[in-house]
Amino acid sequence: MKNLWIKYSYLFTISFFILGIFNIIFAWIGFFCLIMPFVFIIKDKEKTWCKSYCPRSNLFNRVFAKIGLKRSAPKWLVNGIGKRIMLTYFLLNFTMISLSTLMVFLDKRDPVEKVKFLIAFQLPWNIPNLLDVGIMPDWVVHLGFRVYSMMFTTIIIGLLIGFFYKARTWCSICPMGTLSSMALRKQNHSVNLEKGA
Ligand code: SF4
């Protein structure tokens, strides 16, 4: 099972985007990819998710196995600024998503039922909603669109830089990779303190 996942997990990423077209409620699956890096850090005390299981990096490896320019990425992109820009984008987006979902939940604003690129740029087409899964609360739909937008934005950036540079260049600036490295450092620091106590 583990080997099957490692081999075919790219299908998970593709399915995420296809299922979202059928019904945006499936975008909630995206939380799986947001949570799993930290689950493995707690469980294994290392970045097992990034090393083996991540369906997104698996997709990049697959797509760019035979295509792409395979250049080395510029240092500014992978060594600092790029990482900080993406982390800032993620934290800002996450805060906006949380607050706007809360406002929709409290009935203080309407849900935004559009996919956006980089928070601001609305795509010129609507999700067709081909599969009826019943009436969902507005906040559930809103959150689905926001998670789908975040995943859509990051996969497009990842594919673009994966084409121009090496396949997994995205991993150098991925907010989940950055945050899980920080969590791992904190965990190791706590363990070292306990050992020294
Ligand atoms: S850095 Fe991000 S995209 Fe790369 S393997 Fe880790 S979670 Fe996946």
3-state secondary structure of 9: coil
CA distances to 11, 37, 154, 170, 189 from 79, rounded to whole Å, are 30, 21, 18, 12, 23
Question: Is the CB of 13 inside a 6 Å radius of any atom of ligand 1?
Answer: no
Question: Is the CB of 33 inside a 6 Å radius of any atom of ligand 1?
Answer: no
The torsion of the CA quartet 131, 134, 138, 144, rounded to 10 degrees, works out to -40
Distance from Cα 86 to the centre of ligand 1, integer Å: 13
Question: Is the CB of 20 inside a 6 Å radius of any atom of ligand 1?
Answer: no
Q: What is the 3-state secondary structure (H, E, C) of 111-179?
A: CCCCCEECCCEECCCCCCCCCCCCCCCHHHHHHHHHHHHHHHHHHHHHHHHHHHECCCCHHHHCHHHHH
3-state secondary structure of 1: coil
The DSSP annotation for 35-94 comes to: HHHHHHHHHHSS-HIIIII-HHHHHHHHHTTTSS--BPPPHHHHSSHHHHHHHHHHHHHH
Distance CA 15, CA 57 (A): 15
3-state secondary structure of 100: helix
* Rounded average pLDDT over 118-126: 89
* Rounded average pLDDT over 5-19: 96
Give residue-wise pLDDT tens across range 37-58.
999 999 999 999 999 999 999 9
Name the residue of 56, 86, 154, 165 whose CB sits within 8 Å of the most ligand 1 atoms, as the mutation to test its pocket. Answer: 56
Give this prediction's pTM: 0.93
Contact assessment for residue 23 and residue 16, using Cβ atoms and an 8 Å cutoff: no
Average the pLDDT over each of 91-105, 166-180, 183-197 and give the range with the smallest value. 183-197
Return the bridge partners of 158, or none. none
Does the pLDDT at position 124 exceed 70? yes
